[in-house]
Structure formats: structure tokens, C-alpha cells
Structure 1
Amino acid sequence: MNVPSNRPWPRAAWLTLAGVVVLFFIYWSTVASTVAIWRRSETFAHGFLIFPISAWLIWQRRREIAALTPVPDWRGLILLAVLGLAWLAAEVARVLVIQQLALVAMVPALVFTLLGWRITWAMAFPLAFLLLAVPMGEFLIPPMMEFTADFTVAALRLTGIPVYREGTFFTIPSGNWSVVEGCSGLRYLIASFTLGTLYGYLTYRSLKKRLLFALASIVVPIIANGLRAYMIVMIAHLSDMRLALGVDHYIYGWVFFGVVMLLLFWIGSFWREDERVKPAPPVVEYGWGLPGGLKPMLAASLIIAGFWPAYAAYVEGLAPNNLAVRLQAPAGRNGWRLVAPVTDWRPEYKGMDASLHQTYGKDGRVVGVFLAYYRYQRQDAELINSQNVMVRQKHPVWSNVGEAAQVVELAGRPVTVIETRLRSPHQRLLVWHWNWLNGPFTVNPYWAKFYEARARLLGHWDDAAAIIVYTPYEERPENAARTLQDFLRDMLPALTAKLEQAAET
């Protein structure tokens, strides 16, 4: 531990700013991917404002911060190394949001390394606010869609309107409705939380009030979105489906959201706290810097930060030149035989290195099999991807009317699969799907990504595949589930054997 001499703030500030700029240059691909999402998505367009707002918040506290002495701390190098490793794992596994989070988190880690803990703590909120620049939260869309559908249907029934519901689709006497991704309320939630945390920081001094207001900025828009959906359905219903459709559907929603946010801020203003003047802290502080001061710490920080992209490039260079995969359909067993397809539905999987689609029949029962094989996963050609779905939103023919995890017996042991119910105007399908990770089965996307990252970091191939089986049904999906269970008892060993053969080629 050493006692540093006082360093002029301009030098420390400019070196820190230069370090952040170089950090972003080192991870330019991640920066570019973040900006690209800001540009194309209205949900995350606020990201352009986050860094300027953070800089303004730091400038507002410049006098308090200037009273502190910059004290480099080598412990921040450990944080940079951990975050760099997280970025590397996310890079090889193609988990963009983790890459972006790790990069943004490197900014406060770099500030801690170069300026010390006291200054980092003085800028804690502005630095934490930077995390809101990361375009994340899409994993909340399915549960928020489900909540919106639950809320709307319950409110309609409470008002005396009969409702028939199937998944996120429901019918009332005046027409048909569905809760799609745009109705989930994620945009409202992200906008509310971003504004709410900023408002709470500027309006309150106590941590308790700031946290309570941040919590309110999460709960209020979720409930408000349910009310918004209910009111839109009611306006359309009472106007014989002439109002609240098309463009005014969105106008009503944003106007209602704006009113709700104004009310939230107005109510929150009754408990505002004026900032209290704090005594200046002592000028001399103790830290854990390297000999030579700020410049060696900056150099060490950038060397550590630069190691991970360099290693990622090395791992990428191990990619096989030949991605060809031979995937063959197994012959029928125990009475199952190949038959003609019974549906025009196809799962939507992108970038497969090989695929297989076959239909088997036995005693009047029919089961379709779809295998999507990935040899060496890469961007837009990976097993776990938000674009790989059973049916896309607003499909012209097919709709997803229910999805849940189910435990079934596969290869003599219980395995969790995702059960999906699909419908079209002329047919219904029960679908089971899960993932094969060159041996293990899973539906957990995090474990699948962990497997992919581990294989890539160890220089191995990361063969994986989606296994999808389906069968038609009319009234009772339970009968269809028994059909799928019988088929897998007879045919799953042959299917996995074909996947294992493909992995060996």
C-alpha cells in the first residue's frame, strides 16, 4: 500500500477518458452491434441518450468529485480480467447481450482502476446508469405477453363480456384478438424504468426512496399496459370494430402511457428531497496503485482488455474449413414406417448445416420429425437463437396457442421438453422439441450456450441439434402426447444414433 502524491485532476481525467475511448476501439465490434440495435429498434433507441446523460450527471457532481484525489487501484485489474473473460465466453458462444453488458461494465471497472474506489463510488449512479444503454430485456416478452392476456381476459369477463381464450389468442362477440410481441409492454417498461431511475436519482437523496420509485417504475407500466390492452379492446368492441384499430391503436397506447408516467412523476414529487451540502472529504487518500502511478495502470488495463479479443480471434481461427454434415433418416422400427407428410407446417430454424424432415406412421397414427443440425456454430447459424421458433409472430397461417415445459420419459429417463400447441384454420399440431448437445439433452438455453462456450474455448467442435417431433390432434392433446411418447420410445435411439454418426463425419 502506498501514499500517492496529489495528481492534477485534468491529467487523470484526460487519461481516463482516453482509456475509455481505447477500450471501445478494442471492442469495436461489440460497440457497433450495440449501436446497430439502437438504430433499428424503437424499443432501444434511448441508448443514444444514455452516455450523454451519464456524462451530464457526472458533470453535475464535479465539485464533489474534484475534492477527491485520484488513487489508482490494481484491484480493478482483477475486475477487468473477469469481465474480459465473460466477454470472451459470450463472444465464442455468440451471446450478444452478455458481450455488451461485459463491455459497458468495463467502464466503471476502468474508472476504479485508474481513479480509485472513492471516486468510483462518488460516480456510482452515473456509471451504473450506463448499463441501461445495453439493449436487453427481450427475454421478458413471453411472460409479459401472458400477463397482458391474463389481465385483459379477466377484465373483459369482469365487465360481463364472454371470452374464449386459447393461449394469447382470444375471441369476444365482436371479433378476434391476440396479444403479440408489440402488445407485451416491453417498450413501456424499458422507457418507464429508464426515466424512473433517473427521476428517482435526481429527486430523492435516500437510497430507500430511490429504490421504491425504481420499483414503482417497473410495476406501474406493467399494470398500465394491461389496462391499455383492455381499453383498446373495449373501444373497438363498443364502436363495432371501427376505432382503436390500425394506427390509432398505437396512438392511444402511447398517449395513455404518457399520462400514466406524468401521474407517476407528479405523485412522486410529493416526497422529493432537496440535496444537502456535504462537507468536503479529506484530500489525501490511500490506494493500491502500481509503482509509477497512473500511466502504468492505464497500460496494464489496456493490455488486459486487449487480450480477450485477441484470444477470441485465435479461437475463431480454429473453425473447420468443411462444415458439411451427412444427416440420414433412420429406417422405421417396431411398426413405424416412412409415410407421406400430413402438414405444410415447418419449424423456422436459421443457418443449419444440415436438416432432416421425415414423417412416420403406425396403426393410423402419424408423427413428423424435424432435425436441425449445427456443426460449428457462428453468428446467425446457431442452435440457440431468438429467430429459431416453431412459428413466427403474425404468421399468415399458423399460430402458437400455448407453450410450456413438460417432463417426459426419453431413453428410459425423465427429460424436460418444450410442448407447443399450434393451430391453423384446418389443422392442429402438438409439438415437442428439445436440444441435443452431442450427447446430453436439454431445453435450457443457458446450459446450451455454456456447452458451446466450453467446447469452443477448449478448441473442440460444438456439434448440436434441435430435435422436433409433432403429431396432429383434434380435440384432446393428451392423446397426441401419448402418440409422441410411443414414437420416441421406439424411434429415439435410432434418431440419436444418426446424430452421433453425423458428429463423427
Structure 2
Amino acid sequence: MTLLTTLISYWQILIKWVYDLWDDPNYSHGLLVPFISLYIAWDRRSKWDQRRVAPWAPGLFLVAMGALLYIVGGIAGELFTQRFSFLLTLWGCLLTSLGPNALRPFFFPLVYLIFSVPLPYILYDSIGFPLKLIASSSATWFLHLIGVPIYREGNLLYLPNMVLEVVDACSGIRSLMSILALSVVVAWYMHKDIWRRILTCLMAIPVVLFTNSLRIVITGILAVKLPKYAFGFFHSFEGELLFLVGVALLLGLSFIIKRKGGALTEDKKVDEIKGALIPAPHGSLGLLAQFIAPLVILSGFWVTNVANRVEPVSLKMPLAAFPKKIGQFVEVDEEEMPPRVLEVLGVDSYILRAYKDPNGYVLWLYIGYFEDQKEGAMIHSPKHCYPGSGWSPIRSDVVTLDVDALGTGEKQRIKINEYLLQKGESRKMVYYWYQSRGRVIANEYVDRFYMILDSILRRRSDGALVRISGAVDPEGRQKVVLL
């Protein structure tokens, strides 16, 4: 009953999960993960002992955690949280119904399901961007070494006849997810002691960095010598071929690790998770736990549906009516974003203007407003945008300003982000904050927390990102206050 309730409650999430894995080349390996888990469980079926089955009330803790994450993820529009909540709920239901002693042989295939869950955007980008820089800098060094003229800015590579951008496919994160998932299975079957298994999994990182740096080098050489072979089918085929090279390297390193370790002693083997049986309550307590679990799951489903009934909040005045003169600053330019960028941002309305003071100092003002925030249309932090266009972060701080926000002469103290970046010889100072439902917030996680809270209590999730940027100036912060 608990498993059926879980599947019914999560069926929409599961369908979108499968669709996203099919559509996203970064996580297409995730479609194979459940089948790999099923195979491993089938391979270990001889270790199943019906006599160890006993309902386990503490499993309700995982069910409750899963329900809580379901609520948070559903309101915040965070797919990772919702999907991970499914795994927690699944594990909790199995523990509640069967008990830990019966499930012990299947611990690994159940945990392995984690590799089918795509990482959240914030974490994915924080891993992917450094990998882009490592791969691009390594490739730039080698291309310089062999005499290819090249210049690098962030993840942009400038060649004599074109500019190459190191995207996720070439950064290593795409193949890292797949190679890491494979390395865990290889480690499980090839090695019996824990240190060899860990070492085999860690080998995935240098293997991926090597193969993806090599891919960029080959693309750079082709771009200079044979430009027509640097893109399209040949570039994709080159990526698939180098992925197979990475798999071969991983297997080779695993064989070396196995041979170098010498013979295993019986006490080092960890093929079985040994230890005393965990006491599991029988009778009324176990039956009660199995009855409560579906109620907990359905409660999470109900709370999420109630909280998600937020009403879009339109602006009382359009952003286009924003003043063209603010103090000493006068508007001198206004830009429109390309449709592709707007689709990614998901904003309902925005302005992007340049203001100049009497001394000629220019500040760019961006305001992006969301009538309601939901999956696919949520505020993006500037920290995820600037580095991808070649700007390297130098410093990030939270500063406190006293501003007359309402124009009444009464100053309010607010905290905003100060972000210093550099591209070549140019330096840029960026100030930004989240302005949502009467609050000015610097931290994106705090803003997300209040969005969840207000969705439940106030049925609102509207919000805006305000960003002011300009060249580094000794009085830059004071000029931002004036603007």
C-alpha cells in the first residue's frame, strides 16, 4: 500500500523525470541507472531471506523527510529536491514494510539510484564552471606548446580565425556524471575492499579532465588547420570516441589498482555488509507504521498542492515607466535582450538601461520582475551568468548601505551583494540584490526560503532581481547609493 501511494503521488514527477533524462544529454545515462540497479538486485537475489522480514517503525523518519522535501521542492520549483524526496520516500517505505535486515543485501542497488537524479542548477554550475576553466586552461597551455596561436578569456578561446566557447559538453561535467556512475559499478564488481573501491571512483576525475582537455586541443587544431571538421558531426563523433577512450582508461586503471593491491584477506572483504542484526519491532507497532506511512505521503502531497495555488502579482506600473532621470543620473541608452536569453531567464518584464552622471560615469541598471516564480521561471543569480561570458570573479562581499529607498528623506539600512570581476584589462563592479514582497535580501538562499514561506502563508511568490553594474571606480559604491 505504501509503495502504491508513493507511485500515485509522484507519478507526474516520475514522468517528467524520465522525459528530462531523455532530453538532457548531460544526464542521459540516468535512464540506465534503474535498470542497472535492478540487475544488481537480481544478481544478489540469492541473499534474500524471507525470515528477516519485519516492519521497522523508524523507517517512518525517511518517509517524513521525503514528504518534507516534496513540499519544499514543490513550492520552490526545485526538481532535484522533489526527485530526491522520491528516493527518500521509496527507501523509507521499503524499510517500514520489510525492515533493514531483509533489505541489507540490496543496500547498494537502492543507493545507486541517486545517479539518476540530475544535480540542481546551482550545484551543477558550481562544479561545471571550474571544470570549464581547468579544461580550457589546460588545452590553451598545450596549444601554446605546439605553436598554435591562442588567447583565453574565461571559457572563451580566441583563435586566429574564430572564437571557441568551452560549453558543458567540453567542460567535463557531462562525461564526469556518466563516468562516475560507471566507476561505482566497476568498483563494486572488481574490488572487494573499500579503499580500492574509493580509489577507482576517484580515478573518474583525472580521466574526465584528460579526455575533455584532449577534445578541446583536437578541436583547436582542427579549427586552425581544417575548420570544416571542427564542428558538426565530426565534433560530436570526436566527443563520443573520446568518451570511449575515457571508459577504457578507467577500466585500465581499475585493473592496475586491483593488481597492485595484492591478495585480499578475508577480514578486508566487504562484499557483504556484516554485523549484528538490527532489532526490528513486530506486531502492532510495525503494522501501525505501515498504516501511517501512506498518510504522511498524502499529507505532503496535499500541503504542496495548497501552497502552489499562488496568484501572479502584476506590477502596479510597468517597468517602462521607471524614471529616466534619477538624481544626477540620466538615461543614455536602453537595450533589449535576445529572445533566447529571455527564454532562459523566464522574466515577465524587465528593463536594461544605462545611466550617466555629469562626470561621464556610466552605470547599467537591470531589473527583472517575476509575477510568480515556478519551475523554469525563477530568479537567476548573476554569479551564474558573468563567468560564462568570460568575466573572472575576483571578490564577492555583502555590503551594508543606508539609502532613501522611498524618497521620503528617511534612510533605510539594507544589505546587498558587491561582486568584482575582471576580463583582460577591464574590471567591473556589480551590485545586486533580491527585492521580493517588501524585503531587500542579499542571500539567494534566504530569498528562496522566504519565497517558500510566502507561497504557503501569503499565496505569493513574485519577486525581482535588481542589478547595477559599471567600471571600477573609487566612489563606485557611493554612486550606486545615489542611483
Map 1:268-417; keep pairs closer than 5 Å. Answer: 268-270=254-256, 271=258, 286-289=279-282, 291=284, 293=286, 296-317=288-309, 319-320=310-311, 323-326=314-317, 327=319, 328-330=321-323, 332-337=325-330, 339-341=331-333, 343=335, 348=342, 350-363=345-358, 364-384=360-380, 400-404=389-393, 405-407=395-397, 409=399, 411-412=401-402, 415-417=416-418
Q: Is the 8 A contact 2:355 2:362 kept in 1?
A: yes
Question: Given the superposition, is the C-alpha separation of residues 198 and 109 from structure 1 closer, same or farther in structure 2, using an over 3 Å criterion?
Answer: same
How far apart are residue 459 of structure 1 and its match?
3.8
Is residue 2:235 matched to residue 1:249?
Answer: yes
How far apart are residue 160 of structure 1 and its match?
4.2
* In 1, Cα distance between equivalents of 2:275 and 2:220: 62
Residue aligning to 1:27: 10
Residue aligning to 2:169: 182
Question: Given the superposition, is the C-alpha separation of residues 289 and 341 from structure 1 closer, same or farther in structure 2, using an over 3 Å criterion?
Answer: farther
**CA deviation map 1:174-221 (0-9, x unaligned):** 643221232222221111011111111111121221111111123321
The number of residues matched between the two structures is 452
Identity fraction in percent: 20
Is residue 2:446 matched to residue 1:447?
Answer: yes
**CA deviation map 1:54-83 (0-9, x unaligned):** 122112111212265112111110121022
How far apart are residue 381 of structure 1 and its match?
3.3
Question: Given the superposition, is the C-alpha separation of residues 62 and 484 from structure 1 closer, same or farther in structure 2, using an over 3 Å criterion?
Answer: same
Q: Is the 8 A contact 1:67 1:283 kept in 2?
A: no
**Counterpart code for 1:362:** D
How far apart are residue 282 of structure 1 and its match?
11
Q: Is the 8 A contact 2:434 2:463 kept in 1?
A: yes
Question: Given the superposition, is the C-alpha separation of residues 261 and 64 from structure 1 closer, same or farther in structure 2, using an over 3 Å criterion?
Answer: same
SS across alignment from 2:143? helix
Q: Is the 8 A contact 2:62 2:88 kept in 1?
A: no
How far apart are residue 48 of structure 1 and its match?
2.1
How far apart are residue 291 of structure 1 and its match?
0.3
What runs of 5+ residues in structure 2 fail to find an aligned partner? 403-413
**Counterpart code for 1:355:** Y
Question: Given the superposition, is the C-alpha separation of residues 448 and 222 from structure 1 closer, same or farther in structure 2, using an over 3 Å criterion?
Answer: farther
Residue aligning to 1:130: 113
Question: Given the superposition, is the C-alpha separation of residues 23 and 179 from structure 1 closer, same or farther in structure 2, using an over 3 Å criterion?
Answer: same
**Counterpart code for 1:352:** V
* In 2, Cα distance between equivalents of 1:20 and 1:429: 54
**Counterpart code for 1:401:** G
How far apart are residue 457 of structure 1 and its match?
3.5
**Counterpart code for 2:397:** V
Map 1:427-466; keep pairs closer than 5 Å. Answer: 432-437=431-436, 438-442=438-442, 444-459=443-458, 461-466=460-465
Question: Given the superposition, is the C-alpha separation of residues 402 and 183 from structure 1 closer, same or farther in structure 2, using an over 3 Å criterion?
Answer: same
How far apart are residue 307 of structure 1 and its match?
0.9
* In 2, Cα distance between equivalents of 1:269 and 1:453: 49
Q: TM-score, normalised by structure 2?
A: 0.81
* In 2, Cα distance between equivalents of 1:129 and 1:268: 19
* In 2, Cα distance between equivalents of 1:218 and 1:290: 49
* In 2, Cα distance between equivalents of 1:277 and 1:170: 47
How far apart are residue 332 of structure 1 and its match?
3.3
* In 2, Cα distance between equivalents of 1:129 and 1:209: 18
Residue aligning to 1:149: 136
Q: Is the 8 A contact 2:105 2:273 kept in 1?
A: no
Question: Given the superposition, is the C-alpha separation of residues 226 and 325 from structure 1 closer, same or farther in structure 2, using an over 3 Å criterion?
Answer: farther
Question: Given the superposition, is the C-alpha separation of residues 186 and 215 from structure 1 closer, same or farther in structure 2, using an over 3 Å criterion?
Answer: same
* In 2, Cα distance between equivalents of 1:259 and 1:376: 46
Residue aligning to 1:218: 205
**CA deviation map 1:218-247 (0-9, x unaligned):** 33212321222123323443x353543332
How far apart are residue 252 of structure 1 and its match?
1.6
Q: TM-score, normalised by structure 1?
A: 0.78
**Counterpart code for 1:178:** E
Q: Is the 8 A contact 2:219 2:235 kept in 1?
A: yes
Q: Is the 8 A contact 2:334 2:353 kept in 1?
A: no
SS across alignment from 1:297? helix
Moved more, 204-213 or 350-359: 350-359
* In 1, Cα distance between equivalents of 2:25 and 2:422: 31
- Aligned-residue RMSD, C-alpha: 3.6
Map 1:476-495; keep pairs closer than 5 Å. Answer: 477-478=471-472, 481=473, 484-491=476-483
Residue aligning to 1:261: 247
Is residue 2:99 matched to residue 1:103?
Answer: no
Moved more, 92-101 or 268-277: 268-277
* In 2, Cα distance between equivalents of 1:231 and 1:468: 39
Q: Is the 8 A contact 1:69 1:283 kept in 2?
A: no
Q: Is the 8 A contact 2:364 2:468 kept in 1?
A: yes
Q: Is the 8 A contact 1:325 1:353 kept in 2?
A: no
How far apart are residue 352 of structure 1 and its match?
3.4
**CA deviation map 1:116-141 (0-9, x unaligned):** 12233321110110111112263332
Q: Is the 8 A contact 1:50 1:133 kept in 2?
A: yes
**Counterpart code for 2:452:** A
Q: Is the 8 A contact 1:409 1:415 kept in 2?
A: yes
**Counterpart code for 1:98:** T
* In 1, Cα distance between equivalents of 2:187 and 2:316: 55
SS across alignment from 2:368? strand
**Counterpart code for 1:489:** V
**CA deviation map 1:243-264 (0-9, x unaligned):** 4333211212221221221132
* In 2, Cα distance between equivalents of 1:284 and 1:463: 51
Match of 1:192 among 179, 198, 201: 179
Question: Given the superposition, is the C-alpha separation of residues 214 and 325 from structure 1 closer, same or farther in structure 2, using an over 3 Å criterion?
Answer: farther
**Counterpart code for 1:371:** I
Q: Is the 8 A contact 2:136 2:155 kept in 1?
A: yes
* In 1, Cα distance between equivalents of 2:276 and 2:159: 70
How far apart are residue 366 of structure 1 and its match?
3.0
**CA deviation map 1:271-306 (0-9, x unaligned):** 178998999999997313460755x43332111111
Question: Given the superposition, is the C-alpha separation of residues 418 and 157 from structure 1 closer, same or farther in structure 2, using an over 3 Å criterion?
Answer: same
